[in-house]
Structure 1
Amino acid sequence: MKDDTLTEKPHSNSNGVDQTKRSTLTKLAVGAATLPFASVLHAASDKLAEQKVTLMPNEKGPFDIVIENGRVVDPETGLDAIRNVGIKGKRIAAISKNTLKGAKVINAEGLVVAPGFVDLHAHGQQLPAARAQAFDGVTTQLEMESGLLPISKFYEDTAKEGRPLNYGASVAWTYARVMAKEPTMPAADGSIVWFQKAFSYNNWQNTLATPDELKQILSDIEQGLKEGGLGIGINAGYAPGYGHKEYYELAKLAKRYNMPTYTHVRYLNSAEPKSSFEAYQELISLSATTGAHMHICHLNSTSVQDIDDCADLVQSAIDRGLNVTAEAYPYGAGSSLIGAEVFRGDDWLARWGVPSASYMEANGKPLTQEKITELQANDPGKVVVMHFLKPDDNPSDRQKMDRSVLFPGAAIASDAMPWMDSKGKVIEGDIWPLPSDAIAHPRSLACFTRFISKYVNEYKAVTLIEAMERCSLNACRIIENSVPQMKNKGRVQVGKDADLVIFKLEDIKVLATFEAPNALSEGMHHVIVNGTPIIANGELQLGVNPGEPIRNPVIA
């Protein structure tokens, strides 16, 4: 079998986005898509854009799985062509125009074959949540923003139960802070349920750490890094009372271990003082002073109504060479715990820039301020949905959404929440399908399919190959310098991990709504993780758990 030679199709270049024309959606989308990725971070070698890319020699068959006649899309090399793909074990072993022989053959005629989607921001680390995300095309789900603690217990418990998707987590600064500042709280157990209970306490959210407390916080985080944590999750919006020096020490620790920080910035406020803009300035200054890689979680929701100015600020930092990256999700509503500090105080609505308390919903129903106050007192761990933009109804909101979702080099990341029953209990264990009363934000199973449905099929804002870059490769670029495992993901290339999605582009359909959030997305015909199908012909393969842990190399 002779090798195929592919010609790279480089993206067109631009000197930047004309900020005076941001109100025009088309110009915004094109400007974002055509900015040179080299100005962002982890750019592919210029050789990819200038030379022919020759695939590794095709391994001889027969193969374990052959995917025939699919539209194979690889966002790194620019491949977008009809090819046959051969899989042996966990790896892609051949990509060829020639017929391949395999023990199992998947007919992909008329279907897209692309790298499985990589989610940097998945709070739903339970088995049912992972299964639901498979229908969104996710093959790797990582809990980076909030993180977990202890790290070793999280990995051990997850491996014992098994996962259909690859999994991993950063080290949770908030967990360490709760343990240092709330002596009556039991020790963290590696689960999000433990963190929910912490919202019955307030000291960790609103007070500075003493020198001894800071020492304990940093010690617990460092131990988590030594156990394989994927960076430091700094959920600062939930503990805005922390000190600037504390954040500085976290950035220095991350730099020492060559790991990123993943920050939900401390303020969610469209107006100064204590604005989102100010919070981004704090993050950027730490990248400049420590050299740490500072990643911004959900650029859209943490900017609230001030997305344009915040995006300008972040892009300026990147253009000057700072190690700052970002992510966003294609919804104008976030999800959080009602006891969070960002929803307290007489001015919280003004800070969010929304007209009434009805922009907050619980179980799909708008709330009043009286009900919010009651829940904060009696059920502070309750999950709520908070609208900050309504892009499907308002062109101005749509423009703001596009600015974040199409931010150059950004990854699509879901901020997927764990699923809860009608009584607020996390749904976990070997459960499928999701119970009829399962509640979460619809992005928990429809983030990536919504992005494809809206930005490729409906808006025509990006090409398919650009969408795959945002759904898979960009996340890998963001973390692979610290986590070498990710160099083998987000690509459809010989020798890379066989994490693949096979879907019909025009059939991608999001069914989940805020009122009925647990309706699975449609269109994913096959999802393969480490060479094993977890969805075949649109059906989940129960009992199949090929997911592997993603860990930093410190433990090696």
Structure 2
Amino acid sequence: MHYRKRKYSLPGKDAAGNADFAPSAGDRAACEFLFFHDDRVITIHQEQLTLFDSIIEGGTVIDGTKAPRVRADIGITDDRIRAIGDLSAAQATQRIDARNKIVAPGFVDVHNHSDGWLLKKPHLLPKTTQGFTTEVLMADGISYAPVTPLTARDWMFYLKALNGLGLADYSGWESLEDYLNLLDGRTAQNVATHVPYANIRANVRGWGRGAVDDFQMRQIKAAITEGMAQGGVGLSTGLDYICQCFSTTDELADACTAMAAAGGLYVSHVRYKRGTLDGMREAVDIGRRAGVPVHISHLKGSDPQAVEEILEYLETARREVDLSFDVYPYSPGSTMLSYLVPYDVWEQGPIHAISKLADPVIRERAEVGLKNYKLPLDEIHIAWTHSKENSRHQGKPLDEYVAETGKPAAEALMDLLIEERLGVLLVFNEGDDRHIEPILQHDLYMMGTDGIYCEDGPVHPRMYGSAPRLLGPLVRDRKLFSLEESVYKLAGYPAQRFGLVNRGELREGFYADVVVFDAETVTDHATFKDPRQLSTGIEHVLVNGVPIIADGVAVDQTPETVPGRYLKFHRDD
């Protein structure tokens, strides 16, 4: 690569002799060395100019496009990459030694549950030590916005098990933009957002199973349009969760037409309880009818036959719609205990659900449901409880907990939900991680950690180890695919898919979201027994040109230097 040439007047004077003239930061960063003054060409040696804020030197650059790696330095000024090439003679305020390391674009997590914790904990170290520079929030159609004064309390109550925000944390926000503005410039990472469907449906229709009428659909579409105008990347649904579990295929297809003109994605946790393939078919049908791209959340199969069927259907589906999907590199999953209750519990909202959980009819149906799902209670453990009183059960398998209560399984679990006011998180330990590998190898796959952060308790290790697990054990050791392909799946592909402008690649003019890692040592350490272990091998992370991880350690930030931004779909504002 070569420096671009540009003509300046001599620093200190312009062509008219004005003494206060100097090249702009952008011009300095462009690596120009010839200046013209009084028709004389004057060579300014590189070392006489402060060209960059930072130079990442000596690294092997994998640019996020799947192109072959190259040896190059990267020069950063302000929040942008200004030069890529041989910058050995250039000056910089700081130099980052990347010799024998990989330099890659910052990773993008397209499915997570960081929404609430980022309000309370601006630097989520379990994520930044994996190299994630951007979080796409509000997955599964459920989040903290948009809300109304009538629904806000219910959402705080319902989401307790995922993010731990309480009513005391609610400051009166209502729209997506209100909420994201609370994070803009106040987090270590960038944030983008889905438009969560359950929030909109609850605002317009309420919590129950009744059909959406024409007037309500117009309101829903207006809310989706507003969410897209505020920067949303698309509409997210979680069709096994509250409120949206009552939505029909026709309703969802109609709602999605509101974002077709903007190119928004239909992003769905499909109806997995009815079967993965049936859920996928519905998502594809919705996308085809609405004319929108489709993205399926945390797609995986429980056994080799299920995986083969999923892979076969993906080839059919991609001919019908513009399709992609995410998943984390583990077979076991995690969710709220309330996921297991009958849908009828939610008809009057989360707060009223407490009384319904005591209903003998609901409990009988829950017992039947547990048997029909054939859930292995010995392979599901309690990861977190809201109260300190029940925290002694954290890490305990459900069969052991149920046996201690002396009650039938559904009764014991419904009682626990009542005691904890819905605040119970589970981790499912069943499954063989080898079943996930063919899914990861698919060209439509990108990373979504589905990470859930809690300050204590044995949470799912995906929160701490997803990206390094992919880069190390799966790519380096098991050679599932090339390192170039893995960086594309972690950065270039999700940034392109979710409309993150000038991000996801290492290219001059792009934002300086950069990760430096050791390909020989990068790995995860989090396990199901000890999940709170940070990954290693991610040595430097920069967000918008600002270091947030240096030599594997978090960089202290002041409120003025926190670099994260609110990113908007296909906009650079």
Structure 2 residue 132 is the aligned partner of structure 1 residue 138: yes
Match of 1:115 among 105, 114, 119: 105
TM score, norm. by length of structure 2: 0.72
Which whole-Å deviations, capped at 9, do the CAs of 1:465-487 have from their partners, x for residues lacking one?
Answer: 1111111111123222xxxxx24
Structure 2 residue 96 is the aligned partner of structure 1 residue 106: yes
Which whole-Å deviations, capped at 9, do the CAs of 1:50-82 have from their partners, x for residues lacking one?
Answer: xxxxxxx95446211011111111131614122
Alignment CA distance shift 1:77-1:294 (3 Å): closer
Alignment CA distance shift 1:487-1:220 (3 Å): closer
Structure 2 residue 191 is the aligned partner of structure 1 residue 167: yes
SS of corresponding position for 1:333: coil
Match of 1:519 in 2: 533
Q: Distance in 2 between matches of 1:546 and 1:495?
A: 18
Q: Distance in 2 between matches of 1:209 and 1:378?
A: 34
Which structure 2 residues correspond to residues 64-463 of structure 1 after superposition, within 5 A? 64-76=53-65, 78-99=67-88, 100-125=90-115, 126-127=117-118, 128=121, 130-146=124-140, 148-149=145-146, 150-159=175-184, 162-182=186-206, 203-204=207-208, 206-238=209-241, 239-268=244-273, 274-300=274-300, 306-318=306-318, 320=319, 322-341=321-340, 345-346=366-367, 348=369, 354-356=375-377, 358-362=379-383, 363-368=394-399, 369=409, 371-379=412-420, 380-391=422-433, 398=434, 400-417=435-452, 419-421=453-455, 437=456, 440-463=459-482
Q: Distance in 2 between matches of 1:374 and 1:342?
A: 12
Alignment CA distance shift 1:386-1:462 (3 Å): same
Q: Distance in 2 between matches of 1:79 and 1:256?
A: 36
**Total equivalences in the alignment:** 448
Alignment CA distance shift 1:356-1:165 (3 Å): same
SS of corresponding position for 1:408: coil
Once the 2 structures are TM-superposed, how far is the Cα of residue 230 of structure 1 from its aligned partner?
2.0
Alignment CA distance shift 1:385-1:78 (3 Å): same
Match of 1:547 in 2: 564
Q: Distance in 1 between matches of 2:381 and 2:125?
A: 28
Alignment CA distance shift 1:554-1:74 (3 Å): closer
Alignment CA distance shift 1:377-1:232 (3 Å): same
Once the 2 structures are TM-superposed, how far is the Cα of residue 220 of structure 1 from its aligned partner?
3.0
Which whole-Å deviations, capped at 9, do the CAs of 1:105-148 have from their partners, x for residues lacking one?
Answer: 11111111111101111211333363331001001111152354
CA contact (8 A) 1:252 1:290 kept: yes
CA contact (8 A) 2:52 2:92 kept: yes
SS of corresponding position for 1:384: strand
1:489 is aligned with what amino acid?
R
Match of 1:501 among 515, 518, 521: 515
1:313 is aligned with what amino acid?
Y
CA contact (8 A) 1:277 1:303 kept: no
2:481 is aligned with what amino acid?
V
Q: Distance in 1 between matches of 2:486 and 2:477?
A: 13
Instruction: Specify every segment of 5 or more residues in structure 1 that has no aligned partner in the other structure, as ranges.
Output: 5-56, 183-202, 269-273, 392-397, 422-436, 481-485
Which whole-Å deviations, capped at 9, do the CAs of 1:328-375 have from their partners, x for residues lacking one?
Answer: 110112221111257883455566565445334433321123543333
Q: Distance in 2 between matches of 1:512 and 1:387?
A: 14
TM score, norm. by length of structure 1: 0.74
CA contact (8 A) 2:75 2:87 kept: no
2:176 is aligned with what amino acid?
I
Alignment CA distance shift 1:555-1:529 (3 Å): closer
Once the 2 structures are TM-superposed, how far is the Cα of residue 554 of structure 1 from its aligned partner?
8.1
Which whole-Å deviations, capped at 9, do the CAs of 1:166-191 have from their partners, x for residues lacking one?
Answer: 10211111112233454xxxxxxxxx
Once the 2 structures are TM-superposed, how far is the Cα of residue 290 of structure 1 from its aligned partner?
2.3
Q: Distance in 2 between matches of 1:77 and 1:410?
A: 14
1:324 is aligned with what amino acid?
L
Once the 2 structures are TM-superposed, how far is the Cα of residue 90 of structure 1 from its aligned partner?
0.9
Alignment CA distance shift 1:527-1:240 (3 Å): same
RMSD: 2.8
Alignment CA distance shift 1:330-1:498 (3 Å): same
Instruction: Specify every segment of 5 or more residues in structure 2 that has no aligned partner in the other structure, as ranges.
Output: 5-28, 33-49, 147-174, 343-364, 384-393, 400-408
CA contact (8 A) 2:3 2:31 kept: no
1:521 is aligned with what amino acid?
S
2:197 is aligned with what amino acid?
W
2:432 is aligned with what amino acid?
K
SS of corresponding position for 1:300: coil
Q: Distance in 2 between matches of 1:227 and 1:265?
A: 25
Match of 1:490 among 490, 497, 504: 504
Alignment CA distance shift 1:77-1:211 (3 Å): closer
2:451 is aligned with what amino acid?
A
Match of 1:14 in 2: none
Who wins on radius of gyration, i.e. which is larger? 2
Q: Distance in 2 between matches of 1:352 and 1:3?
A: 62
Q: Distance in 1 between matches of 2:282 and 2:446?
A: 22
CA contact (8 A) 2:59 2:102 kept: yes
Which whole-Å deviations, capped at 9, do the CAs of 1:21-62 have from their partners, x for residues lacking one?
Answer: xxxxxxxxxxxxxxxxxxxxxxxxxxxxxxxxxxxx954462
